Chain A
Amino acid sequence: MLQNIKKKARAYSPWIFHAHAGGCNNCDIELAACFAPRYDLERMGIQLRNNPRHADILIVTGPVTKQISSSLRRIYDQVPNPKVVVACGSCALTGGVYNRDDGKPNYALAGPPEKLIPIDISVPGCPPKPESIIDGVMLALEILRKK
């Protein structure tokens, strides 16, 4: 009973933590645009929080550099269950432009975030349009309702 109420409430007001794991900062600017008046995500009860312990949805941008790989893993562990991870942008999906042409691993990368944490939703584009990011968050909500 209480669980059901909690589940419903969570889907109405999920909080987002934004983990920036390297990259060129362009996805982060588009993510900031999602919370600006034009694409206002906060009207759906979605808030950007500064603490992973408060968050339900984790948005990862950028290819994971070696320096930040341990921190990203820690952030993922700190997000309370149930949680949904959204990989935002080409870099977070496959490595994007940071991949080498000859197929060898880049010396500065710990691979795309897929190697470190399980990912539920992918948002393509470089950078993804705010509409795509909102779509991704909406898909994450559906997963959150089922969990």
Chain B
Amino acid sequence: MKTGLARLAKELLRNSLRPVTANYPAIPEHARPHEPGEEIRGRHRFDVEKCVGCGACQTVCSSGAISVTDSGIERVLRIDLSTCIFCGRCRDICPEEGLQLTPEVPSAQPYGDILKTFKVEHSVDLSSCVGCGRPTYPKKQIETVRMRIISNLDKVNVDSARRDMDIYLKYCLNCRRSLSYIFGTHPRKLY
């Protein structure tokens, strides 16, 4: 009881000596709101060099804010900030650490500007299937998959895996399936 009253008196004394309320818009030193730390989740930023465009962020997005659209030669990843709830699951799932949440919090806007300004976009190049000409996967993703498979395999299997990948990474899924006996890349290899 005593200590509680003493703490209250101390708090009262301190609050009567300096202002507590933060100014708007100018913020003096003594009443600055807490600095946004590393854990503040705000506007997204794609790392142009690291992002491979695999679309893993879209599969885990809890509010459906991330959309992946393939249009011929490029894949566009679009984050709608007016739907986003800034949970950070897209950042956690990203295998390449190519998506970061910056501490910059999107501010209020007139309603008409909402579709223009409240979004983050990133586009990656798509490679097309040699067999049928349809777009398949992002070029960067194919390269990363190749590198990762080779680095994780035993030395015995590296040569055959590389030979197989040189052939089938050029084709789309349907072409791989229909042509696998001709290429000699069928998983069972009983041809």
* A residues at B contact (CB < 8 Å): 37-40, 43-44, 86-87, 90, 93-97, 99, 101, 114, 119-126, 128-129, 131-136, 138-139
Contact = CB atoms under 8 A, between A and B. Distances in A.
A121 B83 contact: no
Nearest to A95: B83
A121 B85 contact: no
Interface string B109-126: 111001000100000000
Interface of B: 20-22, 24, 33, 62-64, 80-86, 105-111, 114, 118
A128 B81 CA distance: 12
Contacts of B83: 90, 93-96, 99
A101 B106 contact: no
Q: Is the interface of B mostly helix, strand, loop or mixed?
A: loop
A103 B179 CA distance: 36
Given A97-B63, A99-B63, A90 B85 contact: yes
Contacts of A114: 111
A38 to B, nearest CB: 6
Contacts of B105: 125, 129, 131-132
A109 to B, nearest CB: 14
Given A37-B20, A96-B63, A124 B82 contact: yes
A135 B34 CA distance: 17
Contact of B82 (A39, A44, A97, A122): A122
